Amino acid sequence: MSPDDTPHGKTATKLVYMANQIATFFKTQPANEAVPGVATHINKFWEPRMRRQLFELIDHGDSGLNPLVLEAASLIHRPEPVKQD
């Protein structure tokens, strides 16, 4: 499934692009700093809505995300689901 096929379409494509850019930057760091670096950056600068959409992509699989982003997922704060009334 490509990011454009997800419920968020072009927004998902943009999120994948941004997450992969972060991973590309941290790929130059020592291995023991790369994964926490990606997670820290996303936790610090991405709002909960963006992180929620990132996890939707991860949960659907085949998201096009860099393996470093996928490794960092366990350290990224997963926001609470949006409550539907």
Give 10's pLDDT tier (boundaries 50, 70, 90).
confident
Q: Which amino acid is it at 52?
A: R
Residue 7 has pLDDT above 90, yes or no: no
For the record, the structure tokens of 80 come out as: 């609470």
What is the per-residue pLDDT for 81?
Answer: 82
What is the per-residue pLDDT for 1?
Answer: 45
For the record, the structure tokens of 2 come out as: 């490509």
Entry pTM: 0.83
- In this structure, is the dihedral angle defined by the CA atoms of residues 81, 71, 75 and 25, taken in order, positive or negative? negative
Average pLDDT on 38-56 reads 96
For the chain, which residues make up each domain, given as ranges? 29-77
Q: Can you tell me the distance from the alpha carbon of 9 to that of 58, in angstroms, rounded to the nearest whole number? A: 14
User: Terminal CA-to-CA distance of the chain, rounded, Å?
Assistant: 30
